[in-house]
Amino acid sequence: MLPKVVSIVLGGGRGTRLYPLTDQRSKPAVPIAGKYRLVDIPISNCLNSGFNRIFVLTQFNSSSLNSHIKNTYNFSIFSKGFVDILAAEQTNEGDKWFEGTADAVRRSIKKTVSVDYEYVLVLSGDQLYQMDFAALVDFHIQNQGDLTIATIPVSAKDANGFGILKSDETNVITSFIEKPTDNLLPDWKSEVSDELKSQGREYLASMGIYVFSKGVLNKLLNEHKGMDFGKEIIPDSIDKIRVLSYQYDGYWTDIGTIASFFEANIGLTNDLPEFNLFGRNTIFTRPRMLPPSKISGTTLNNAIISDGCIISADKIDRSVIGVRSRIGVGSVIRATYMMGSDYYEDLEELQNAKTRREPTVGVGERCYIENAIIDKNSRIGDDVRIIGGNHLKSGDYNEYTVCDGIVVIKKNAVIPNGTVIGR
């Protein structure tokens, strides 16, 4: 029998490092892999683990996220399962936004009083991974943990972006530091396997995935006024409660920047991607009644094509093409994530746009696009060249943003015929 667990998915803050993708939507609502949203990843991990009572905490640009949750996660009337949104709100007890991970849980936990649970699973809404949470919770119970932190070995170049910890031979965490500076790192190496050591992954990093025993979490939140788990509550609790490290050895990446988001999506096109879309565990998302994709005269190489696309491109190479995408004759798409569209234009709209020589939704004819992210409902005209790379200086423009050499076409942007971005 599964333990009684309630899951809390943290929606994160403004997501400024993912701008412009978070300009009109919250971070958990950002589309990923052509047909999913980021929030689908932690929710799917929960459901595949047998935990179906889930709260999603959010506060910024939550309209599209609310719509996605409402249209996706509907359980049988005979089930006790749910996925509910808990948004930051003004009350008699406070009128501020959530001020950190612990503050978000503290101010929301009272709304779980109607749920019978013994353990709280706290998750981030902006990570890509597949984990059996039932094994994590079982580890917590069997080892009599008060708090268990899922951890992963990382290299020195990544270590100062995470909470780094040390544990003893019984997996009890003995010390913890949040985002250590380079000069402190030598003192924070952990004993790892020879294989990990050869990869330089000698630092145990917190994945931001926590299991709390119910009474322990309530006591910590009531007695400690810290706003963040990683920066304040966990470091201060190491000597007071039993904190365990659960080491995870699978694929995991934090989707915190445009570069990491781009790499995670393009990585899905590998022959054997580290994140497996085709495994036994389902990634749940909104069911769409879309037609199959139609592809005419296109050479495809390491491409992911979502439902409802109409493609006449010359070539698509190492790219992810989202739902309802249109790509015109003679176009070449390389190393690009095209998110697709929320709607189709009908034949009359397409003809009128062609007569006026205006771009339609999607990518026009004879375009060349490389190292780019094309957000939803963008209109890219004919003979457009978009070539991202290190030669481009980062900056924000009316219709697009350049970040770490990646050109991000904004949602609903219009790129006129013949436009050149890049060399």
What tens digit of pLDDT does each residue of 3-60 get?
999 999 987 666 688 999 999 888 889 999 999 999 999 999 999 999 999 999 877 6
Per-residue pLDDT tens digits for 141-160: 999 999 999 999 999 888 88
Contact 221, 109 (CB under 8 A): yes
Task: Tell me the C-alpha to C-alpha distance, in Å, between residue 243 and each of 76, 173, 208, 279.
Answer: 37, 6, 14, 32
Are the C-beta atoms of residues 327 and 321 closer than 8 Å to each other?
Answer: yes
- Which pLDDT band, with edges at 50, 70 and 90, does 104 fall under? confident
Q: CATH classification of 294-421, choosing from 2.160.10.10, 1.10.490.10, 3.30.565.10, 3.40.50.720?
A: 2.160.10.10
Q: How confident is the model at residue 170 (pLDDT cuts 50, 70, 90)?
A: very high
For 314, which DSSP code?
Answer: S
Q: What is the CA radius of gyration of the chain?
A: 23
Give percent of the chain above pLDDT 70.
Answer: 96
pLDDT at 406 over 70: yes
Q: Which of 335, 312, 333, 337 is nearest to 322 (CA)?
A: 337
Domain ranges for the chain, please list them.
5-267, 294-421
- The pLDDT value recorded for residue 254 is 87
- Are the C-beta atoms of 78 and 31 separated by less than 8 Å? no
Helix (H, G, I), strand (E, B) or coil at 178: strand
Tell me the CA distances in angstroms from 4 to 28, 40, 119, 147, 213, one per residue in order.
25, 22, 6, 16, 11
Res. 97 pLDDT band, cuts 50 70 90:
low
Q: Give ∠ CA 341-58-249 in degrees, rounded to 5.
A: 85
pLDDT confidence bin for 118, thresholds 50/70/90: very high
Q: pTM here?
A: 0.93
pLDDT over 90 at 377, yes or no: yes
pLDDT in tens, 225-252: 878 888 888 888 898 999 999 999 889 9
Q: Does domain 5-267 have CATH number 3.90.550.10?
A: yes
Q: Tell me, what's the pLDDT at 46?
A: 97
Kindly report the average pLDDT of the chain as a whole number.
91
Residue with tokens 């980021």, as numbered in its chain: 38
- Residue 210's DSSP bridge partners are 122, 149
The confidence score (pLDDT) of residue 143 equals 96
Residue 193 CB neighbours (<10 A): 11
